[in-house]
Amino acid sequence: MDKSLAALLFSCTLLIFLCVPPSLAQTCGNYTFSGNRSFSTCNDLPQLSCSLHWNYHPSNMTADIAFRKSGASTSNWISWSLNPRRARMAGSQALVAYRQSDGSMYAYTTQLDGNPNMQPGGLSFDVPRITAEYSSDGSMIIFATLQLSDILRSTNQVWQEGPMKGGNPGTHSFSGQNGRSVGTVNFVNGSVLSTSGTSSKTQKRNVHGVLNAVSWGILMPVGIIIARYLKVFKSAGPAWFYLHVICQSSGYAVGVAGWATGIKLGSDSPGITYGTHRNLGIIIFFLGTLQVLALLLRPKPEHKYRRYWNIYHHTVGYTTVVLSIGNIFEGFDILDSGNTWKTAYIGVLVFLGVVAAVMEALTWSIVIKRKKTASSAKHANGEHIHGSREQQTA
């Protein structure tokens, strides 16, 4: 090979090597553990900068594993767990580790089923050995030996990290990479698959969000716009009322479905609560139900209590919509959907706001014009009566 060509290839190779970020150049296969530990199989996990290393021993169905979180914060905890029942954290058999205030590492096992605070406890399978270390390169690592069963040789795995709070593991984020850190592991053939597309729980949360955004956040405001503005037009007749009732009733029906999915999500997620979102949802459902029941007690227009019923109806209606919009944005912050849904809903609100502003100006102009016309007619009629009386007197 020509020397100049060889020199060019060497220079290009060196340039590529220097330009590759350390995070990409460093893979699980070339990581060196302390204590001369080595593992025959490893996989870089797709979320949270983690990797799983292991040696599987088929003779006694044990696995020596190392779960590593690179760039770990000393104020965070890490965990890796197996869950043969479902691809989720709740109900999993977990290994947890964190750095204590004296600088030492603490590693233990816990079952995340009815134990949301991650207190130490035994697992459904034996863990003869578990230790942890915080390496000089900023990696937090859990070492353990697992006594596997047939069902655990290929099963779901979940890994997480979260902040320490008061010396104990605190609640981790449920969005972003934390919401996608789930997959499967096969200790026998060494395969790891990511199931971070859309889990059934994520699908339920998305359905819950869509139902409530459409019902309380769109149909209800549209129903208010119909009632406030269409009745000003004489040509609308009683149609505005029927459209208002249809819109609000449909919104309530869809909202009940969305509320029910929220209740189901809560029951399926023990230890996971969103206080503000849940409490607002309960209040909104209660106010919406009151509005529906109020239709059954609606007085006739000429009834002496109709004025008070209108005040109640309008107050509860506007309050429900304002709280609903606020709670929808609370939900967007919980959903792992980026800003796409939030931006789309803001666009809907802007459109409804523009429509309301235009209709407000238009209907006020109609009302003012009618009042002027009525006043002129009354004045003209008064002059006509006065003239007739003068003629009779003469």
- The encoded tokens of residue 185 equal 């592991």
Would the annotation count 277 as a binding residue? yes
Which SS3 state, helix, strand or coil, does residue 33 take? coil
> Residues of 134-159 as b/e, b for ≥16 C-beta within 10 angstroms?
beeeebbbbbbbbebeeebbebbbbb
Distances (CA, A) of 50 to 23, 47, 133, 281, 366: 11, 7, 15, 37, 66
Would the annotation count 244 as a binding residue? yes
Dmax (CA) for the chain in angstroms is 131
Amino acid at 69: K
- Alpha helices, DSSP H only, in the chain? 3-19, 22-25, 200-214, 220-229, 239-267, 275-296, 306-334, 340-393
- The encoded tokens of residue 141 equal 């690592």
CA-closest candidate to residue 138, choices 44, 52, 74:
74
DSSP conformational letter for 155: E
Would the annotation count 386 as a binding residue? no
Would the annotation count 314 as a binding residue? no
- Helix/strand/coil (H/E/C) assignment for every residue in 323-384: HHHHHHHHHHHHCCCCCHHHHHHHHHHHHHHHHHHHHHHHHHHHHHHHHHHHHHHHHHHHHH
User: What does the alpha-carbon distance between residue 311 and residue 309 come to, in Å, rounded to a whole number?
Assistant: 5
Binding residues for heme b are 208, 244, 277, 313
Binding residues are 208, 244, 277, 313
